[in-house]
Structures are given as structure tokens and as C-alpha cells.
Amino acid sequence: MPHDASRYLAEGPRVGIRPFTQEDGAEFTARARESKDLHHPWLFPPLTAQAYTAYAGRLIEDPGRAGFLVCEKHDGAIAGFININNIVEGGFQSGALGYGAFAHAAGRGLMSEGLDLVVRYAFGPLRLHRLEINVQPRNTASIALARGCGFRLEGFSPKMLFVDGAWRDHERWAITAEMVRRPGRH
């Protein structure tokens, strides 16, 4: 799909972020199937049209979630996805991030650029104050992404989430709006 800047909520030098649409199902599921080895055992994005329809529908319709596709600007290809789940307003103004790169984009810095855009969008138009990422301790790529985008390690939660058939330990990484606005932070 050719680059169409009007579709993006925010853009960096190489990627733009945009909301999920139902029309993205074929490309998303094809890339998810190509990326099964990269994702296992950390995450399990939808692999079929039916699963994608339900998944994207929740991200599109649920006000407690916001889903973003990270797309390469030169051709519009989906490089990965970043979701803000469990958005709580009021005094908390917080959400929990989940994300995944697709195999063709892994290791190219596209997700770092995309995560920076989502963080700024969350602290700007979405008016959130805090974002948290929960990562299994052996998921070194995900931890490197969180650290590289300015998230700080805040703690460890034993048997926090049920993933791949078992309750798994997770590290808690977080960033606040003040950390992004700090001088020297891009």
C-alpha cells in the first residue's frame, strides 16, 4: 500500500502509526503467520481472518484500548503493532502496553521509532500520564525496546500473566509524561 500521510496519527522519519482497521486483516495475519517463530513463546497475535476480526474489533470499539499499527512510510507495509490496554482515566490516566514486531521488520529500529510515536501520542492527544510494559524476564528483545525508549524498570511480579499455558513472571517497566518531557530526552 503506498504511503498516505493522511492515514497516520503521527510520523517519524521511517514509520507512521495509525489505528487498526478491519481491512488490515489479510496483511496482518499473513505477517503474524510469517512471524510465529519470532513471537513464540512471548505473544500470540491472531493468525486467521476470524481471529483478526475479533481482535481488531476489540481495539476499535473498546474505549479502554487503543491499537496502533506501525507502518513503513515508503510503502505502507505493517512492521508491527502496539496496543494500549486497560486504559484508566480519572486520577490514574494510565495504560498497559503490548507490542510485537513482524519478522521482516525485526532488528531494524522500526519498532523503537513506532514506540516513541505511540508514547508521545498517549501523552499528547490521549492525555495519559503513565504507560507500563510487562515483560517476561527472558524476552531480551522486548526489554531492550522498553529500555531504549526510556522506560524504567520498576519491579518484578511473580506469576503475573497466563501466557503459553502457564503463569509467567514479569518485569514491570514504566514511563511517565514527565520522563518524556525531560531535557535531553528526544
pLDDT tens for 51-68 read 999 999 999 999 999 999
Contact 81, 100 (CB under 8 A): yes
pLDDT 10s digits, 139-154: 999 999 999 999 999 9
Short-list 105, 116, 119, CA closest to 74: 105
pLDDT 10s digits, 86-113: 999 999 999 999 999 999 999 999 999 9
**Three-class SS of residue 129?**
coil
Short-list 100, 88, 43, 44, CA closest to 62: 88
Residue 184, pLDDT score = 46
**What pTM was estimated for this model as a whole?**
0.92
**Residue indicated by cell numbers 490514574:** 92
Please give the grid coordinates belonging to residue 129: 500520564
Contact 14, 76 (CB under 8 A): no
Is the per-residue pLDDT at 186 higher than 50? no
Please give the grid coordinates belonging to residue 59: 481495539
